[in-house]
Structures are given as C-alpha cells and as structure tokens.
A and B are shown apart, each in its own frame.
Chain A
Amino acid sequence: MTDRYEVVIGLEVHAQLATKTKVFCGCPTDFGAAANTHVCPVCLGLPGVLPVLNRAAVECIVRTGIALGCAIAPVSRFARKNYFYPDLPKGYQISQYELPVCSGGGVAIGAGAAARTIALTRIHLEEDAGKLIHGENLGDPRQSFVDLNRAGVPLMEIVSEPVLRSPAEARDYLVALRDIVVHLGVCDGNMEQGSYRCDANISLRPRGRETLGTKVELKNMNSFRYVQQALDYEIARQEALLDEGGRVVQETRLFDPKAGTTHSMRRKEEAHDYRYFPDPDLVPLAIDAAFLARVAAAMPELPEARRRRYVESLGLPEYDAGVLTADPALACWFEAAVAAFPKPKTVSNWVMGELLRLLRDAGRDARDCPVPPTELAALLAAVEAGTLTRAQAKGALETMFREGKTAAAAIEAQGPAAPGGGGELAALADRVVAENPDKVAGYRGGKVKLFEFFVGQMMRASGGRSNPDEIRRLLQERLDR
C-alpha cells in the first residue's frame, strides 16, 4: 500500500430486506421467478396507481437502526429520485433524501487493540429497480430486455462515512455489517443473488492534506473478494495517475471480475441532477416511542451480545463463542442442543468438530442440518452413560447425518459397546487416578511426562484393547481440572 497517499473509502451497501412482499405493493420478493410474473400495476408503473408502504420493511430498517445505534428520525419522508432508465418503470425511484429513517450510528470492526467503529452517515429505505438482460443472453444482440420482478423490492441503503482507510478494512466492515443484518433477520446476506450489494467511493490524498481527493465510484462487486480486488486495483490506478501529475476524473467505474480491473462506464451518467422532491403519493413516517418499543421488543440477540453470553453464562472459551455465533442458524442449533444436554463445552466440542466437518463436506449449512439438535443431545447422553465410546459416537453421528437415523437407531446399528469401553473404562480411569496420588500430585506440579505413566497403566489394565484416544480423554478429564 502507498505511503505517500492516504486512502479514503466510503461504502454504500444496498441490503434487500427480508420481507414477503415488495415495499410499495403486495407482489412477492422471492428470487428466481419467471420474468415479469411478480408484477402488478403498481410495480409496473402503470398510469394512475399509487404506492402503499409495507410495514415490515419499516420494521426491518428500524430494527437495523436500533442495532447500529443510529438516531431514528421522529419524522421521515419519502422522496422521488428522478432519472430515466428502462429498469425504472416510473421514471423515478422512491427513496429518501432530506429525512432518512436512520442517521448516525456505527459498525464495530476488528478486535482487541485493532477494534474500531466505522461511523455511518445514514440508512434509508428505497425500492429496487428491475433487471436488464443483455440481448446476447436471450438470443438477440440488437436489443436489451427488461424483467421487472425485482422492481419495488425493498432495500435499505447503508451509507458509511468516508472513514475506511484500506481495502482490508472495507472488507472487515462489509463482513461485520453482513453478520449483523443476517443476525437481525432483516437481510439474507446473499451476495451472489444480489441481496447484499456494495458500491464504493474511493479517493486518494497526499498524506497530511485535509481536503479530500476526487472520488471514483466503483460498482459491480458481488463478493467480498471482488470488493477488495477492485479497491486494490483502483488505489494502484489512482496512485500511478497522481504520481504522473495527472488528475483523477470523477466517474463511475465498473469492476471486471475476470480481469481484476475497473473500467469507466460507457453509458454517460447525467450530471446527477436527480431533482429530488417529497413524494406526494406517500405521507410522512412518524416513528414514535411505541413503534420503537415494539420493534425493540422483537429484536433478536445480536452476534456481539450472544458471544458475550456464551462466554459469561455458558462458560465457553472466546474462540468457541466466536465460531458458534458467526452463523445465527448454527447458534440456534447449538442452543437447542444445549437445552437438551446442558453441558455447553461438550456440545460445543461436538458442534465445532464433528458437525461442522460433516456440514462442510456435504456443502450444507446449519440451516439445513439433517441432524436435529435433540438427537445430538441423545447421542451425547449415551456417551456420558458409557453405552458407547466417543469413537463409536462419531461413527453414529455420521450415520445419523448421512442416513437421517435417530441417535437410538444409529447406536443400535453400531452394535454392542466395545470391551472395556464406556463406563467400564471411565471406572478404570477413576481407579488408576485414585491409586496413584503421588503421581497425580507430580503431574499437576508440572511433571507432564507422568501422563504417559497413567496411559500405560490404563492400557495394561484393559488388556490393550481400548481406544487410546478415549483413554487420553478420560485421563485428561480427571488430571487437568
């Protein structure tokens, strides 16, 4: 990265709100329907039709505003942003201008000494445009085609202050923000399907200078990696330009994922004369204390709060808490399992080890985990009761995962417990520890090699048939506390 210039990045995230219907009409928002079938007179912009605001969309943005510490405007307004484009059926986008729903607030990124809060300018509610399909894709390169299914889908535009200083920081911000909106249940966070999109404004200025350099707007970055690549490329481009004594032109540039470069948009953008004015078809939104209280009461727990609770109340290590809370679905699964088998660390070990491996290998996530949390709990109860070894339990879990068997059925299929396994082995471990108090004291005093002595005792006593992993685990449980 450059040391002569300071990088200034501001991000605009468009997050599709997780509502059933569009923001101003009752058409469904699901992705992937046949072209122009999720449309009605309102979202087609037919003459004479009128918008009516979706309450759920307002709740989503208010929920986000509360979570990010924004000021929620007591009165906000919708405004029309006027421009012509075939994917914009009314010739204007209903958005917000002077009075957005949320202003201020911030997103926490980094940890420990690197922790920082990225300030937000505002969050406002607006409608999405339709989709343009280039002719080649429908077999007619002379034309373009318009699908208005997406037109009117609710978006919240989250605008950061221009305070991000590197592409890596931009990425951290985007990841943290996505975590939050996904946890809040206000956005599915799917970047490929476009429900979480990002545009970036980036400029360079010589170190020490106050005034901002000319900014370039970057579009078409539909993954975190692309955002970073595009910003890296753009920094290098602007730096070279400035070093040569050239000037950066204020423009919109598109990222080309294949080439890893950005290029100027060929379509001439108008002078951004959007002629915003209050939309006379909609009345002001007055979010009062009662509305706020209702939304706040329905707030799901945020990742940060959940992480803290896992450490403080469940006694999990920071690392476990971080992994489990990264995905809200996984956290819910984990909590359901703990409810049925109240040993959080044991459940955490199984979830982070075996379950996540099985999910990863199967290309699935916790949302569609084939094993119900109560069944893992049943399996762990069996291990604790000594009816099967840990190794057998691993096998059983795999069977449950692949064949959809219950814990009981999977245990049954494993056959009888191995000789010397289960409770027998645990009892043996108790005995070996109880019979050698001096060795125990020595081990606990720092003579770690004595551990092998206990292992040897156990192996001998069980006739060498037991699982050494299991023996080590049982001994650790007894010696390391």
Chain B
Amino acid sequence: MVTDLADLTLRQFADGRRRGDFTSEEVTRAVLERIARVEPTVHAYLRVDADAALEAARRADRVAPPPAGASALWGAPIALKDNLCTRGVTTTCASRILENFVPPYDATVVERLRASGAVFLGKTNLDEFAMGSSTENSAFGATRNPWDPATIPGGSSGGSAAAVAAGACLAALGSDTGGSIRQPAACCGIVGLKPTYGRVSRYGLMAFASSLDQIGPMARTVEDCALLLEAIAGHDPRDSTSIPGPVPPYAALLGDGRLDGLTVGIVREFFAAGLDAEVERSVRAAVRTLEERGARVREVSLPHGKYSVAVYYILATAEASSNLARYDGVKYGYRAEGARDLIDQYRRTRSAGFGPEVRRRIMLGTYALSSGYYDAYYRKAQQVRTLILNDFTAAFREVDVLAGPTAPTAAFRIGEKSDDPLQMYLSDIFTISVNLAGVPGLSLPCGFTSAGLPIGLQLIGPAFGEETLLRTGHAFQLATDWHTKRPPLVKATAGEVP
C-alpha cells in the first residue's frame, strides 16, 4: 500500500480526505517535500508556488466541498503544464519569448479545476511551445526521467509526466498535439489520456497546432484520469471547436474489470520493423491480458498510418508558423534591444526569443504555406489526412478499441536524438495519426525493459469513445500492477507514513 502521502492516487486522496484520514494541507505538504527532494534530479517544474498551494490547501480544508461526485479533486495537489494560462501567474511555454508573461486570465481548464477545488502546485516543464518529444527543447533546461535520470521523460508534457511519476503531484494536466501526453506517459510509467478533439476546451492553451491540440489528464491510474477528465471536459462557449453536450460521469462508468463483448483491434502496421522487441513483447502480453478479461481480439489495418508523420509535420508546422506570429515583442513578451527599425526588431526578437526547434518548425510551416508550395504540401497533407481519418472510421466499424505500443522504444538517452530532428519526429509515429483523426488515445504502463524503463500500451477509441477507452484501461489495471510501481528515485527518497 501507500507508504507516503505523496504517492496517493486521486481516488485514495479523495476517499481518505473525506474519511478524515488526512487533510489537504498534510498531503500538499508531503508533495511539496517530495518536490524538494526529487526536483534537483528531475527538474519537472518551471515554478513551484509552495505558499499559494498551502494556502489553497488550507482553504480547501476549511470550506466544505460541493456535494459528492464533484468533490474528488477538492484540495488535491495538482500540477499544470506551463502552456496553460494561469491568471496572475507567469506562464512561459518554456520559451524565452514569454519568460515574464503574466496572463490576465485563466485557461478554461484551469478555471474548471479551480472550481473543483484543486490545489495548484506550480507549472511543469515542456518542450518550448510543446514542440518536441523529449522536453530537451525547454529554454529553461531539460527534465529528466525519474526512472533513469540519464534518459528523457518524453515530451512535450515531460514535466507533467515526470512529476506524476516522481510523486511531485498527485496528477497533472498536459497537452497533446502529436503524442505529447501519451508518449511521456509511456516513458514515465504513468497514464495519460488525449481526449477527442473538441472534448476539452482549448481556451487558454498556448496554441501550437490548433486543429490538433487537446488538453488531457496525466495520472497514476486510469481511474484518476477519468476523475480529472470529468472535471475539465465539456462545452465552452469561448472555444468554437468545443463540442456541445453533456459530459459522461466517466469515473462511474469504469466497470468491474470484465471486457466481455468488447472487440480489440491490433493495428498490423504498428508491429512492423522499427518496433523495439521488448516493447513488442510487453504490448502483446498486455493484449493477452485484455483477452483474458473477456475481450475478443482481431487484427486491423490502418494503411495510411505510415504517412502520418509527414502529414503531421506539414499541417502542425504550418499552423504553428501562424500561431507563433503573435510573438513579435510589441504587446507582451521578450523584445530584443538595439534594433535599427521595426522589421529589425521583429527579426531580432523572434530569433533570440525562440529556440532552434521552434525556429526550424516556423521555417518549415512558413515554407509549406508559401506561394507556390501550398498545393504541393499543405493541401496534399490535408487530403492524406482525410485518408488517415477514413482508415480509423473503417477500423472502428470492425472493432471497439485499437491497441498497440505508444512509442516504438522506451525512453532514449538525453542528447541521443537532439541533432537529428527527423529521428526525433519519428518517435511519435504511433501517436500522431490519433491527433490527425481527432480520436481519443490512452497510454498506460504495461511493463518494463530489461534496463528498467517503463513501456506504454496505447489504446485508441472512436471519437467520443473515452468511456470505452477508460473502461478497457481500468480493466487492465485491475488485472495488473504495472501502475503501482514507483521509480527507484522515489523509493530511495521516500519515508514511511507514520
């Protein structure tokens, strides 16, 4: 069982707090102590607001939560990826260009979590503007994987994933444009859900690629992800791309662990060359577990999946080149000194303010949209996107859930792919098509490599199929204990609860 309050799941926290086993302040304090212990190694956070968190925890302890059901997050210490705007609290997107930016407003998800009584510990690290798969592209230093500090935590939500894995928060929010929740979740041995496009409001999420970005929960269990999703999902009149309609009570619909009647599709192309043998072994074993819980398994094909990285890096960079045009040193953010004139100021500001990967993607996206190339790149990519979407639609006529690896390998070593952008892009090969199709994807731990690094199982559902995904993942976690493992770093530093 739990040896330290910092290792509680959200569910354990909610039950214990309600029973009076501990207060929010006690748990928040335990988490802050854990942060103090692991942060020098992990560097999951860009800022920790200890005083504000303790104050919020005490307030949660003083005030009665709303009626049961909505109260699971009351007083729960949670971390936010630093591309989510927080009113009055610096939000940097891990970029020099926003180093001192203080939003005058809250992202909708932040507003909703506040209303749910969540306690915000601070802002977690990411690849600058969420562009990366390793969190090495942060302007403020890389985050390290708690399972092995020589390896990457994945990215771009590497800070949130590492924080959850290290007990530096009970749960966190991340964002996922091409795998940025699921791939770090896999690397850090936690659960991460990218919801259906439109399920969660993007208002206040600093945009990378608007037609792909989604905010989602990262936690230690599928059940915790369900609790968080319930709190953040739902229609938002401030986001034209958010879907109207009620939010299912996801946590109440997790089921009893049986999967009778469920058909799981194994994506043939996901098990092709390039997939690490240990990863393949664990993922196949995980599928057998689903079968044992009553699911039927069959093979399916997503024939256009192999084009998804190419499509993604055209569409995402094109959108990004436009989304990042607002960072010009006029209204907010960094401004370079000593410019000769306005254009010179723009150039200097943006060249010094953005890191190399961001500049590279702006260049790529600008090129793809520029006169004479739009049809060859942007339009073509949008057409292939249609074919990828059609693949998923066809697959979900046959099966309820798709299963496969989240990433082709476990976490790689820091620096290993920094000089080869294309190799870095290919580490998202299994996650990207999910964003292109707009469907939900869940990554959950399903084993370890011989080097002791976590391996992620990816489950993919049809649009608005979160309920099925979560039920499947929950059944898997009832049958296995991968999600209860803690990194050696945590064991080495954690004390017993008296």
What residues make up the interface of A, taking CB atoms closer than 8 Å to B? 41, 44-53, 80, 82, 84, 86, 89-92, 144, 146, 148, 271, 273, 275-277, 280-283
Contact = CB atoms under 8 A, between A and B. Distances in A.
B325 A82 contact: yes
B370 A47 contact: no
A278 to B, nearest CB: 9
Contacts of B210: 280-281
A47 B105 contact: no
Contact of A48 (B203, B241, B322, B370): B203
Contact of A91 (B93, B328, B378): B328
A280 B370 contact: no
Contact of A280 (B93, B319, B371): B319
A53 B322 contact: no
A52 B240 contact: yes
A91 B240 contact: no
Nearest to B329: A86
Interface in B278-334: 318-319, 321-322, 324-328, 330-332
Nearest to B211: A280
Contacts of B327: 47, 91
B271 interface: no
Chain A to chain B: the 4 pairs with minimum beta-carbon distance, closest first: A91-B325, A280-B211, A275-B369, A280-B210
Contacts of B374: 275, 277
B65 interface: no
A91 B326 contact: yes
A86 B325 CA distance: 11
B330 A146 contact: yes
A422 B273 CA distance: 108
Contact of B366 (A44, A51, A275, A276): A275
A80 B322 contact: yes
23 contacts: A41-B105, A46-B332, A47-B207, A48-B83, A48-B202, A48-B203, A48-B205, A49-B204, A50-B238, A52-B239, A80-B322, A86-B328, A89-B326, A90-B325, A91-B322, A92-B325, A273-B370, A275-B366, A275-B369, A275-B370, A277-B319, A281-B207, A283-B240
Looking at chain B's contact residues, is the secondary structure mostly helix, strand, loop, or mixed? loop
B453 interface: no
B241 A283 contact: yes
Nearest to A282: B240
Contacts of B54: none
B388 interface: no
Interface string B61-85: 0000000000000000000000111
Contacts of B238: 49-50, 52
A47 B322 contact: no
Contact of A47 (B237, B321, B326, B346): B326
Contacts of B246: none
A88 to B, nearest CB: 9
A279 B475 CA distance: 40
Nearest to A274: B371
B330 A86 contact: yes
Contacts of A277: 318-319, 322, 369, 374, 378
Interface string B102-126: 0111010000000000000000000
B237 A52 contact: yes
B326 A45 contact: yes
Interface residues of B, number: 46
A46 B332 CA distance: 8
Contacts of B84: 48
Given A50-B238, A84-B346, 4 more contacts: A89-B326, A91-B326, A281-B207, A283-B240
A49 B211 contact: no
Given A52-B237, A82-B369, A92-B325, A47 B318 contact: no
Residue with the highest number of chain B CB atoms closer than 10 Å, among A47, A49, A51, A281: A47
B109 to A, nearest CB: 11
A273 B371 contact: yes
Nearest to B95: A47
Nearest to B372: A273
Nearest to A53: B240
B240 A84 contact: no
Given A50-B238, A53-B240, A82 B326 contact: no
Nearest to B373: A275
A12 to B, nearest CB: 21
Contacts of A273: 370-371
A46 B366 CA distance: 21
Contacts of A47: 85, 91, 93, 98, 101, 103, 206-207, 326-327
B342 interface: yes
A1 to B, nearest CB: 37
Given A82-B325, A281-B241, A48 B204 contact: yes
Residue with the highest number of chain A CB atoms closer than 10 Å, among B205, B330, B370: B330
Contacts of A53: 240
Contacts of A90: 325-326
Contacts of B202: 48, 50
Contacts of A82: 321-322, 325, 369
A48 B237 contact: no
Residue with the highest number of chain B CB atoms closer than 10 Å, among A53, A90, A276: A90
Nearest to B236: A50
B325 A44 contact: no
Contacts of A46: 85, 103-105, 331-332
Contact of B203 (A50, A92, A276): A50
A380 B239 CA distance: 58
Interface string B366-382: 10011100100010000
Contacts of A92: 322, 325
B331 A44 contact: yes
A41 B346 CA distance: 21
A90 B343 CA distance: 16
A268 to B, nearest CB: 9
B324 to A, nearest CB: 8
Interface string B230-249: 00000001111100000000
Contacts of A276: 369
A48 B206 contact: yes
A281 B327 CA distance: 18
A428 to B, nearest CB: 74
Contacts of A271: 371
Contacts of A50: 202-203, 238-241
B197 to A, nearest CB: 10
A92 B322 CA distance: 7
A86 B103 contact: no
Nearest to A81: B322
